[in-house]
């Protein structure tokens, strides 16, 4: 848990990292803010569909500068652990399912977790929203941090959206294309790569139009439509830790007065989480906007 296998580290270093450096020239600042030991949540924004360039950039620089011995578990979709082939990959990465239970287990074992709270809502935002941080009102990661009493380390990722521009985000699209729903994905995006390849298929496939339409339909609903297709610099910046006491109050502070009824107590807890969400989201947005161009820690 949280530690990649030696085979993954070798394979990533030989084949993926050189391509990431060539295409995205990633930079990473603020590594000194990561605690040397103990659990924490590393919370970041997300874009470009599956965020291949962003994830590749972070893993490249983390393995290069920190190394595989210092654990960090990534939240990934639970469906990945049930898909043959992909299941082997996520296990070799040291990833864990993106569930409250798996997160609690990792943090209780002292393993930090990296999470992208915006999920498909944020990663599929259209390109004109660019570097806007939008967690979609999701507070599950904050419940996890509050209950485990671990700090949140904010990380802002800039310009990842330019590596695989998204033109449209839609729940209806996920239903019409069927495959995303079968994969447990509620939203789907129409990417620039998807549209360009679909146009080429329509022009050059030597099939009757029903067969061509079926091929295009299958293509638009497949994960490769979000491949990073544009070389662009990806910048990552880690900010100072936010202690749990600052976000949620001291451990022994009650969530609400005992005189409040159940619904009122839940509303009080929700207000606390919403206030924490606003602060964390604004902090990540500041890291995205505040990159001054200083390369800081860069890939070589």
Q: Tell me the chain's radius of gyration from C-alpha atoms.
A: 20
Nearest to 280 by CA among 30, 38, 44: 44
Q: Report how far residue 174's alpha carbon sits from residue 123's, in angstroms, rounded to the nearest whole number.
A: 14
pLDDT for residue 292: 46
Q: Region 119-138: what's the mean pLDDT?
A: 91
Q: Report how far residue 124's alpha carbon sits from residue 287's, in angstroms, rounded to the nearest whole number.
A: 20
Contact 142, 173 (CB under 8 A): no
pLDDT for residue 294: 44
Contact 13, 221 (CB under 8 A): no
pLDDT digits (tens, 9 = 90+) for 97-112: 889 999 999 999 999 9
pLDDT digits (tens, 9 = 90+) for 246-277: 999 887 555 555 555 555 555 557 888 999 99
Phi, psi of 156 (to 5 degrees): -100, 135
pLDDT digits (tens, 9 = 90+) for 45-56: 999 888 889 999
Contact 140, 63 (CB under 8 A): no
**Which tokens hold the place of 173?**
């699209």
Q: What residues are paired with 156 via a beta bridge?
A: 237
Residues of the chain with CATH 3.40.1130: 6-164+230-298
Q: Report how far residue 124's alpha carbon sits from residue 187's, in angstroms, rounded to the nearest whole number.
A: 8
**DSSP string spanning 88-157?**
HHHHHHT-EESSHHHHHHHHHTT--EEE-TTHHHHHT--GGGTT----TT--HHHHHHHHHT--EEEEEE
Taking residue 62's Cβ as centre, other Cβ atoms within 10 Å add up to 19
Contact 135, 277 (CB under 8 A): yes
**Which tokens hold the place of 65?**
């500068």
Q: Report how far residue 297's alpha carbon sits from residue 87's, in angstroms, rounded to the nearest whole number.
A: 32
Query: Which one-letter DSSP state was computed for residue 130?
Result: T
Top-level class of domain 6-164+230-298: alpha beta
Task: Give the pLDDT band (50/70/90) at residue 14.
Answer: very high
Q: Residue 170 is inside which H or E element, if any?
A: strand 166-170
Taking residue 118's Cβ as centre, other Cβ atoms within 10 Å add up to 23
Taking residue 184's Cβ as centre, other Cβ atoms within 10 Å add up to 11
pLDDT for residue 44: 96
pLDDT for residue 185: 83
Q: What residues are paired with 96 via a beta bridge?
A: 75
Q: Is 2 helix (H, G, I), strand (E, B) or coil?
A: coil
Q: Residue 89 is inside which H or E element, if any?
A: helix 86-93
Q: Report how far residue 12's alpha carbon sits from residue 10's, in angstroms, rounded to the nearest whole number.
A: 6
Q: Residue 56 is inside which H or E element, if any?
A: helix 52-65
**Which tokens hold the place of 35?**
């605690």
């Amino acid at each position: 848990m949280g530690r990649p296998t030696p085979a993954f580290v070798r394979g990533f270093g030989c084949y993926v990292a050189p391509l990431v450096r060539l295409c995205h020239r990633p930079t990473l600042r603020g590594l000194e803010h990561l605690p040397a030991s103990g659990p924490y949540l590393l919370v970041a924004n997300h874009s470009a569909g599956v965020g291949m360039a962003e994830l590749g950039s972070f893993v490249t620089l983390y393995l290069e500068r920190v190394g595989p011995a210092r654990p960090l578990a990534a939240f990934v979709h639970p469906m990945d652990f049930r898909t043959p082939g992909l299941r082997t990959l996520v296990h070799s990465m040291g990833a864990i399912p993106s569930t409250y239970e798996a997160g609690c287990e990792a943090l209780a074992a002292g393993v930090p977790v990296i999470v992208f709270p915006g999920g498909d809502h944020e990663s599929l935002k259209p390109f004109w929203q660019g570097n806007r941080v939008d967690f979609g009102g999701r507070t599950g990661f904050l419940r996890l941090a509050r209950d485990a009493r671990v700090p949140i380390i904010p990380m802002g990722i800039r310009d990842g959206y330019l590596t695989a521009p998204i033109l449209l985000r839609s729940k209806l699209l996920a239903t019409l294309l069927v495959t995303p729903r079968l994969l447990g994905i509620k939203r789907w995006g129409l990417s620039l790569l998807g549209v360009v390849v679909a146009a080429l298929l329509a022009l050059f496939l030597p099939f009757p139009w029903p067969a061509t339409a079926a091929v295009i339909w299958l293509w638009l609903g497949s994960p490769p439509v979000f491949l990073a297709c544009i070389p662009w610099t990806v910048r990552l910046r880690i900010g100072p830790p936010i202690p749990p006491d600052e976000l949620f109050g001291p451990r022994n502070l009650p969530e609400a007065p005992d005189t409040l009824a159940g619904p009122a107590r839940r509303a009080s807890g929700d207000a606390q989480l919403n206030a924490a969400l606003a602060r964390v989201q604004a902090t990540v947005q500041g890291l995205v906007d505040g990159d001054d161009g200083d390369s800081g820690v860069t890939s070589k």
